[in-house]
A and B are shown apart, each in its own frame.
Chain A
Amino acid sequence: MTVFTPNPPLDLDDPGLREHFLRLVGDGDEYGAVEVVTALLEQDIPPQRIMMDLIARTQSRVGELWAANEWTVAREHAATATAERALAALAAHTPRRPDRGRITIACVDGEWHALPVRILAEMLRLDGWRVDFLGPSVPGPHLVTHLHQTGPDAVALSCMISTRLPRAHAAITACRSAGIPVIAGGRGFGPGGRYAQTLGADAWAAGAEEAVARLASSWPPPPRDPQVHAFLGDDEYTHVVRHRPDLIVTGMRSLMTAFPAMASYNDQQTDSTLEDMGHVVDFLASALYLSEPQIFTDFVDWTNDVLQARGVPSPALRAGLQVIRDQLHDYPRALSVLDAGLSRLSP
């Protein structure tokens, strides 16, 4: 193994530099991370490249390391906090006078993945936008108040987890009802941003660079009636959401019967299991809301990978899905979504 030495000139394409930066953020070494970023800036490397090729890529790696159980949640949090400091330092070194419109950037209510959105905010700022970044987990009323007070030309809304899509929908409808077009982004909106269209967003972008390009041309989109996309979901969705507590508590009881070992769980283990049952119900609800079973099967695939990495066998997840399924016999669409999920797990 060659030892990387962070001496200039630094090369963004050097995997050694990326590994070095990953180590710095993972150790919470704010000064080291800021030093790398400022050294790159001093070499006249465009700040956009530093954000996309170093900070954003490192953050993807952090997510992978967490999913693979190589990093703890705590280390991942520290890495994110450190990367944010590096990003702030980069922003401080690259002033730009706004000469485009004004844009509001927010994460959907309940959504905490702020770093990718902060990167988008900086990318847009460097492109001449006047940016208002409202932060993670922005409640709908707060967002709408902000829109009435500042009258931006666009709202960029991020949603990384599909369970937040019903709330994303409420936010999109509210923004468009306030006359502001919405560009959606983030993995939560599905492959190719398919769900963003269903929810009435005016545009969708896969990443920060695409969003910058989309907003630089053909914006604003022609105004459309926001009420056209205002209602989704059906009685099955309503049932699942309204009976969420029952579904979880009854499901938990069935699990206890099936797995007597669970009786000896401590409070924290019980809480975790309840929370995981909550995820099953929430992803099911989202799949029903959008009539997209893939929301649920993607969740099952991903959770299964995460659990395998932590040595939890598939039958545990199967059992979790099954005890919810047992309570929804009268709901054919919910059953077919759950069955699609169950078919992804080896028996």
Chain B
Amino acid sequence: MRALVPAPALLRAALDAASEAVLLCGTADDTILLVNTAAANLVPDVATLRGALTAGADTFTVEHAGRHIAGRRRTLDEDHYAWYLRDRTEEVNRAAALSAERARTAFLADAGRRLSASLHQGRCLRTTAELAVAHLADAAVVILPPHRRRSTWLRLTGGERIVEGSVAESQLSDVPGMVEVLGGFPPIPSRWLDAAQAPSWLGLGEIGALLVTPLPGTAEPAGALILAKRGSTFTTDDEILARIFAARAGSAISAAALYREQADTAAVLQADLLPPELLQMDGVELVGSYQAAREALRIGGDFYDVFEPTHPGGDTVLALGDVCGTGPEAAVLTGKVRQTLRALHLVDADPAEMLRVLNQALLQSGRQHRFVTLVVGALRRADHGRVRLTLATGGHPPPLVLRADGTVEEVPVSGTLIGAVTETVVRPAEVELAPGELCLLYSDGLFEARGGPTTTAQYGEARLKAALSTCQGLPATATVERVRQLVSDWMHGGARDDIAMLAVRAPVRTALSLRDGGQTQSSFALNTRRVRQRS
């Protein structure tokens, strides 16, 4: 059978009808012999491709007149070869758009995570500037709305450290677009802002483009974000991204502002309810410790206080108590109790009298089901370095006394709880502390602490007394810390109740009792008490 050889015109027509661009070339001198229609459409002037065609490789990609072209070379016979060209423009654009979209998503996810991390306004501002410089611009300035006629600002230029400062409200209008942004109007596009007019206090130096974006807040703007680029300009996409980012930054900053306002208010209220700083008085060691069940708040239903003598030679008064309940409600009542006691101290009431009057006061305050247990003590120096304490309790665990020989005694006081019934019974008692002896006032959270190996056992009075007896000869700070530590170990990080302690120790001249070594051991026990590495 004889093969049909198509006419050249037919071959040409077939090539022109193909969608692929084809260039037929001669091997000898690389002349282009034929350009099909698709190729002529793709590259009107084929000569401009000459460099890529004759580079010697079998493939090339080139950008030509805004189009991305890929070429593939095939040898046809000894004297001819062809280039098959493909337009990759769409593909390249799609890939570029996809990776830009991915970068944007990653940036916004990262921004969301980092901005939501902190409730501290300073940190939110810093994070905003850092993110902006990492992803959006060469430099960023965050400006807060004016407060008392001044605005604080924070600037970060790539590769430098953050700089903070403040500016008078009147100077804000020097920044192009700022008045609109802080006034709650839509931001002005970057192309309408003259970068050269950026005032020198912004510290941006020579810049090519400026973008001023509002940081949206809860009801009014939380501030403004100024972005600057050195060379290039901001595209519309850049501006949209900056606005989305600014929305997230703005809500983080305004949430932080709200939190700060609340925290500041709480701190003011809390300050009066926190336990007082204790001073050493006349050589007597006074040490308090307070641990609130709700640690984040640091206030609760336990309290202690110390009132200095009202006149020279007068008594120092100590009080430690426990209001029923925990948290802020209980804390507020502790404030009232402390204030009442302070007033009673000013009129020289003795501890038993103080409890009786406090009982009346609480009953008449009208608040139902709010009672308190407490210990009140009047302290004065006696002869030979001794300290005398008159103690009275209202339904509170009796204080413990650590004697010089290591024995632990309960002070024989009793009394009914305060604020519950009109008739109270108070039986005060006196104790004398020899030099180095210690009296511990504490709240029931201490021995009611649940934990131990079974997690449900109470620490109990027996363990508390045993623990205290090991503190013989210790400074009062060390005793309080040791008891606190033993109870904390006992609870093993379990739920906590409020725990308050107040220790009084008669002044000691020397601490000779510490000088004997050794300690009693169990025969089996890994009796390390506090296991830790060699320090």
Contacts and interface: CB of A to CB of B under 8 A. Distances in A.
Interface of A: 26-30, 59-60, 62-64, 67, 69-75, 77-78, 80-82, 84, 109-110, 112-113, 116, 136-137, 139, 141-142, 144-145, 147-151, 160-161, 167, 177-180, 187-188, 223, 225, 244-245, 248-249, 252, 255, 259, 261-262, 265, 267-269, 271-279, 298-299, 302-303, 305-307, 310-312, 316-317, 320
A139 B295 contact: yes
Contacts of A77: 471, 474, 478-479, 481-482
Q: Which of A75, A255, A305 has the most CB of B within 10 A?
A: A75
A261 B523 contact: yes
B404 to A, nearest CB: 13
Given A27-B511, A310-B521, A81 B119 contact: no
Contacts of A113: 532, 535
Contact of A265 (B122, B260, B455, B522): B522
Contacts of B510: 27, 29
Contacts of B113: 225
B379 to A, nearest CB: 22
B454 A249 contact: yes
Interface stretch (B69-77, B178-186, B319-327, B512-520): B512-520
Contact of A161 (B514, B524, B532): B532
Given A28-B514, A72-B518, A277-B453, 19 more contacts: A29-B511, A74-B473, A74-B514, A77-B478, A81-B478, A110-B488, A113-B535, A137-B488, A142-B295, A147-B118, A151-B118, A248-B453, A255-B524, A272-B529, A276-B531, A278-B453, A303-B528, A303-B531, A316-B524
B198 to A, nearest CB: 29
A187 B533 contact: yes
B534 interface: yes
Given A179-B118, A267-B462, A60 B535 contact: yes
Q: Is the interface of B mostly helix, strand, loop or mixed?
A: loop
Given A110-B488, A148-B120, A276 B474 contact: no
B341 to A, nearest CB: 28
B263 A167 contact: no
Given A73-B470, A275-B453, A312-B527, A149 B123 contact: no
A4 to B, nearest CB: 18
Nearest to A245: B454
A321 B150 CA distance: 67
B480 to A, nearest CB: 10
Nearest to A279: B531
A310 B296 CA distance: 42
A245 B260 CA distance: 43
24 contacts: A26-B515, A30-B475, A64-B535, A73-B529, A74-B471, A74-B514, A78-B511, A84-B477, A109-B493, A139-B295, A148-B118, A148-B263, A149-B120, A151-B122, A188-B533, A272-B529, A273-B522, A274-B453, A275-B529, A278-B453, A279-B526, A302-B533, A307-B526, A311-B521
Q: Is the interface of A mostly helix, strand, loop or mixed?
A: helix
Given A78-B475, A142-B298, A147-B118, A306 B514 contact: no
Contacts of A187: 533, 535
A302 B524 contact: no
B525 interface: yes
Contacts of A312: 521, 523-527
A167 B472 contact: no
A72 B514 contact: yes
B530 interface: yes
B269 interface: no
Interface string B459-497: 000110010001111110111011001001100110000
B151 interface: no
A302 B535 CA distance: 11
Q: Which of B477, B519, B533 has the most CB of A within 10 A?
A: B533
B201 interface: no
Contacts of A60: 535
B478 A310 contact: no
A179 B127 contact: yes
A238 to B, nearest CB: 16
A312 to B, nearest CB: 7
B452 interface: yes
